[in-house]
């Protein structure tokens, strides 16, 4: 089940934030959306999630426009993880993760409970299930919020900067969890700021610049030094083992 | 029923008989006839409707407060924020002007009728505004709430205008007295007006529960889970409109119940907004019943107004709450 943007344009307020974006994303892979601040990364992710309505073109799940799907069907197919950890009430971890079952309406049945338990298990959260979310560390909170998405067993996981505010080890672990999901056949789309993480862990990279798609393809092509210079205005070079996947490359920046 | 519902229902079951027996005339539960010639009359025609009304009004305010806090994702939210209560009050104040011109048979009903019309007008205004704010992503709730606050300010200003231009001193004192809500001298008629509307309102708010739970994750995540913002807004305006509108129509403005009750209930639940609505209704009933019985017993020459009494308790509680939140206990 592919997720695609077809000549998609989006206006928010008076500003054109996305122009004529066409991309086909494959399930079973990690797609990274990168770009400078204000390039439209979050807007594209939200449009793909069906939360923003494009004024031209469309976002499609397989061959159906996401705007035409019933909210419940869309919610079952696409799990969306917004940026930041904005949890209004100090509920227990298990109750929060169970919200992921809302599109299925089975939070309290055996099936729903099994899905919640599987999500808690996949992210090593079983020992925290009764803990109020207010007592969790940043890394634990990020895992709980991802577990909420996993509990819904969506075909696609769309996550907006899930690695921001996480330390190195939590970043690597969370990427590992997302890779597991991708290997199980789920499509994973993440907005990233760290180009090295995109280079080393994504299967496919979409580079946005000023609301247009500057490049897309394999990480080594989409994130070449030339491209980084053009899009971010930063001279840089990749060092380390090139072409390996998962690669172990680092970005060295020059200038200033 | 959850633990919180059972706890507050048990409390209410104890409070109701106590409230019926307490007052200027204390009634002996084992000898009603011996408590005075009019004891049975006092019990059935004065105290029973008053207790029933306290339960109805308190339940509506408690449930509305719980739903509003869930909707705004904010423990400081209050049912008055949508402007429904001030509009209902404005309608009631208008009835003091217009009611005088009506034939006596209708005049008796004009106050609750006008209050309900005011609440209905606020609901229509909110629905019109919602049509313009709920499209597009994010921020819809904040924008909508600001619109509600503007309705509240406008209704407040018009009410103040009506007070300053009162036709005579008697009308002025009537209006001011009425604005500080009370349950004195109410009959079963008022119960029959308020009870069905409040019950319907609580049922509507209950139906919004799961969507309110989803909002725990924020507006965008909730929408991604299939929460329909328009449907939720509709349920909330209808539910709060019915409960608060009915409450103001029969009791005037009673503040702080909707704000405080969810805080009393929350520690006894799993803190999900949907888990709060029913126990908040029961706890709200218990709180208003207690406060109303207390003002009845207090040895003042004229009875302390219930609305004033609740604000006297409510304001210090609110302050304490703010200080606690500052320390990060919420």
Q: What is the DSSP string of A175-234?
A: HHHHHHHHHTT-EEEEE-S-HHHHHHH-SEEEEEETTEEEEEESHHHHT-HHHHHHHH--
Of chain B, the percentage scoring pLDDT greater than 90 comes to 42
- For B216, which of A75, A81, A89 is closest by C-beta distance? A89
From residue B122, give the alpha-carbon distance in Å to each of B58, B227, B237, B249: 21, 24, 9, 14
Q: Phi/psi at A206 (nearest 5 deg)?
A: -115, 115
Of chain B, the percentage scoring pLDDT greater than 70 comes to 91
CB interface of B with A, residues 92-111, below 8 Å: none
A75–B225 C-beta distance less than 8 A: yes
The answer to whether A69 contacts chain B (CB < 8 Å) is: no
How far apart CA B55 and CA B209 sit, in angstroms, is 22
- For A103, which of B225, B228, B273 is closest by C-beta distance? B225
How far apart CA A31 and CA B129 sit, in angstroms, is 39
How far apart CA B250 and CA B286 sit, in angstroms, is 18
- The 3-state DSSP class for residue B73 equals coil
Residues 6+ apart with CB under 8 A from A12: A43, A52, B136
The answer to whether A130 contacts chain B (CB < 8 Å) is: no
A46–B137 C-beta distance less than 8 A: yes
Of chain A, the percentage scoring pLDDT greater than 90 comes to 75
Residue from B80, B68, B85 nearest B262 by CA: B68
How far apart CA A174 and CA A190 sit, in angstroms, is 12
The answer to whether A188 contacts chain B (CB < 8 Å) is: no
The whole-number pLDDT of residue A244 equals 53
How far apart CA B298 and CA B282 sit, in angstroms, is 25
The whole-number pLDDT of residue A25 equals 95
The answer to whether B18 contacts chain A (CB < 8 Å) is: no
Q: Stretch A120-135: mean pLDDT, rounded? A: 92
CB pairs under 8 A between A and B: 76
**What pLDDT band is residue B171 in, cutting at 50, 70 and 90?**
confident
Question: Are A153 and A115 contacting, i.e. CB atoms less than 8 angstroms apart?
Answer: yes
Q: For an interface test with A, which of B138, B216, B230, B329 has the most A Cβ atoms less than 10 Å from its Cβ?
A: B216
- The 3-state DSSP class for residue B308 equals helix
- For A88, which of B137, B216, B225 is closest by C-beta distance? B216
B269-281 pLDDT, tens digit per residue, is 999 999 999 999 9
Closest chain B C-alpha to A75 CA, distance in angstroms: 5
The whole-number pLDDT of residue B136 equals 46
**What pLDDT band is residue A247 in, cutting at 50, 70 and 90?**
low
Task: State both tokens at B181.
Answer: 């809500």
How far apart CA B49 and CA B60 sit, in angstroms, is 16
The whole-number pLDDT of residue B95 equals 85
B9-48 pLDDT, tens digit per residue, is 999 999 999 998 888 777 777 777 676 767 788 888 888 9
- Please state which of the ranges A161-170, A189-198, B56-65, B101-110 shows the lowest mean pLDDT: B101-110
**What pLDDT band is residue A85 in, cutting at 50, 70 and 90?**
confident
The whole-number pLDDT of residue A176 equals 92
The reported pTM is: 0.90
3-state helix, strand, coil in chain B (%, to 5): 80, 0, 20
**What pLDDT band is residue B81 in, cutting at 50, 70 and 90?**
confident
The answer to whether A123 contacts chain B (CB < 8 Å) is: no
A100 contact residues in B (CB cutoff 8 A): 225
The whole-number pLDDT of residue B326 equals 64
The answer to whether B223 contacts chain A (CB < 8 Å) is: yes
CB interface of B with A, residues 233-272, below 8 Å: 270-272
A103–B228 C-beta distance less than 8 A: no
Question: Are A99 and B212 contacting, i.e. CB atoms less than 8 angstroms apart?
Answer: no
A227-243 pLDDT, tens digit per residue, is 999 999 999 888 887 65
- For B220, which of A51, A74, A103 is closest by C-beta distance? A51
A100–B216 C-beta distance less than 8 A: no
B83-97 pLDDT, tens digit per residue, is 899 999 999 888 887
Q: Is the dihedral of CA B194, B71, B122, B86 positive or negative?
A: positive
A168-205 pLDDT, tens digit per residue, is 888 888 899 999 999 999 999 999 999 999 999 999 99
- Please state which of the ranges A7-11, B60-64, B298-302 shows the lowest mean pLDDT: B298-302
Say how far residue B65 (Cα) sits from the centre of its chain: 8
pLDDT at A160 over 90: yes
Q: Stretch A100-121: mean pLDDT, rounded? A: 91
Q: Stretch A150-172: mean pLDDT, rounded? A: 91
What H or E segment, with its residue span, contains residue A4?
A: strand A3-12
Task: State both tokens at A3.
Answer: 């997720």
The answer to whether B185 contacts chain A (CB < 8 Å) is: no
Average pLDDT, chain A: 91
Say how far residue A102 (Cα) sits from the centre of its chain: 20
Most confident of B58-72, B93-107, B147-161: B58-72
What H or E segment, with its residue span, contains residue A59?
A: strand A56-61
Question: Are A146 and A123 contacting, i.e. CB atoms less than 8 angstroms apart?
Answer: yes
Q: Could you count the other beta carbons within 10 Å of the beta carbon of residue A15?
A: 11
B228–A71 C-beta distance less than 8 A: yes
Residues 6+ apart with CB under 8 A from B152: B80, B81, B82, B83, B85, B86, B87
Q: For an interface test with B, which of A50, A88, A146, A150 has the most B Cβ atoms less than 10 Å from its Cβ?
A: A88
Closest chain B C-alpha to A83 CA, distance in angstroms: 10
B221 contact residues in A (CB cutoff 8 A): 80-82
> A5: which strand partners?
A23, A59
pLDDT at A246 over 60: no
Nearest residue of B to residue A97 by CA position? B217
Closest chain B C-alpha to A228 CA, distance in angstroms: 31
The whole-number pLDDT of residue B35 equals 66
Q: Stretch A45-74: mean pLDDT, rounded? A: 93
**What pLDDT band is residue B133 in, cutting at 50, 70 and 90?**
low
How far apart CA B205 and CA B60 sit, in angstroms, is 10
Question: Are A34 and A207 contacting, i.e. CB atoms less than 8 angstroms apart?
Answer: yes
**What pLDDT band is residue A108 in, cutting at 50, 70 and 90?**
confident
A46–B220 C-beta distance less than 8 A: yes
The conformation of residue B78, written as its DSSP 8-state character, comes to -
Q: Stretch A113-126: mean pLDDT, rounded? A: 93
The answer to whether A167 contacts chain B (CB < 8 Å) is: no
The answer to whether A88 contacts chain B (CB < 8 Å) is: yes
Q: Stretch A120-128: mean pLDDT, rounded? A: 92
């Amino acid at each position: 089940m592919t997720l695609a943007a077809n000549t998609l344009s989006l206006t928010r307020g008076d500003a054109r934030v996305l122009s004529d974006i066409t991309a086909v994303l494959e399930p079973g892979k990690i797609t990274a959306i990168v770009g400078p601040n204000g390039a439209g990364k979050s807007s594209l992710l939200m449009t793909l999630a069906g939360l923003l309505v494009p004024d031209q073109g469309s976002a499609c799940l397989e061959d159906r426009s996401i705007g035409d799907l019933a909210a419940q069907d869309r919610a079952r197919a696409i799990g969306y993880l917004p940026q930041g950890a904005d949890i209004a009430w100090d509920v227990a971890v298990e109750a929060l993760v169970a919200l992921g079952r809302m599109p299925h309406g089975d939070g309290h049945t055996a099936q729903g409970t099994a899905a919640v338990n599987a999500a808690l298990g996949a992210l090593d959260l079983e020992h925290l299930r009764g803990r109020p979310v207010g007592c969790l560390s940043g890394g634990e909170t990020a895992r709980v919020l991802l577990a909420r998405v996993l509990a819904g067993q969506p075909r696609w996981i769309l996550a907006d900067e899930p690695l921001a505010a996480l330390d190195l080890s939590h970043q690597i672990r969370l990427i590992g969890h997302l890779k597991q999901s991708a290997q199980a056949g789920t499509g994973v789309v993440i907005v990233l700021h760290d180009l090295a993480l995109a280079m080393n862990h994504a299967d496919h990279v979409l580079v946005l610049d000023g609301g247009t798609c500057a490049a897309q393809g394999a990480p080594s092509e989409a994130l070449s030094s030339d491209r980084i210079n053009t899009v971010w205005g930063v001279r840089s070079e990749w060092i380390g083992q090139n072409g390996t996947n998962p690669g172990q490359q680092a970005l060295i920046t020059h200038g200033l | 029923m959850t633990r919180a519902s059972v706890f507050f229902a048990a409390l209410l079951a104890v409070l109701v008989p106590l409230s019926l027996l307490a007052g200027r005339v204390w009634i002996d539960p084992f000898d009603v006839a011996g408590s005075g010639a009019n004891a049975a009359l006092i019990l059935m025609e004065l105290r029973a409707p008053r207790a029933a009304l306290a339960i109805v009004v308190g339940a509506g305010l408690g449930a509305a407060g719980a739903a509003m806090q869930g909707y705004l994702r904010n423990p400081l939210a209050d049912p008055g924020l949508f402007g429904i209560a001030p509009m209902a009050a404005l309608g009631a104040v208008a009835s003091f002007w217009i009611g005088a011109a009506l034939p006596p048979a209708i005049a008796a009903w004009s106050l609750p009728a006008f209050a309900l019309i005011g609440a209905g007008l606020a609901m229509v205004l909110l629905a019109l505004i919602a049509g313009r704010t709920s499209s597009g992503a994010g921020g819809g709730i904040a924008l909508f709430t600001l619109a509600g606050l503007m309705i509240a300010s406008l209704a407040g200003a018009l009410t103040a205008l009506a007070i300053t231009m009162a036709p005579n001193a008697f009308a002025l004192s009537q209006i001011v007295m009425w604005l500080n809500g009370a349950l004195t001298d109410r009959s079963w008629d008022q119960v029959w007006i308020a009870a069905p509307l409040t019950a319907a309102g609580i049922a509507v708010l209950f139906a919004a529960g799961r969507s309110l739970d989803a909002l725990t994750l924020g507006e965008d995540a909730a929408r991604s889970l299939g929460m329909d913002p328009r449907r939720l807004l509709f349920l909330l305006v209808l539910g709060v409109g019915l409960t608060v509108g009915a409450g103001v129509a029969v009791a005037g403005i009673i503040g702080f119940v909707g704000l405080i009750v969810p805080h009393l209930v929350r520690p006894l639940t799993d803190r999900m907004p949907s888990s709060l609505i029913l126990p908040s209704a029961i706890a709200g009933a218990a709180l208003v019943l207690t406060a109303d019985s207390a003002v009845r017993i207090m040895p003042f020459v004229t009875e302390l107004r219930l609305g004033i009494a609740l604000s006297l308790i409510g304001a210090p509680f609110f302050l304490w709450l703010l200080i606690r939140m500052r320390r990060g206990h919420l």
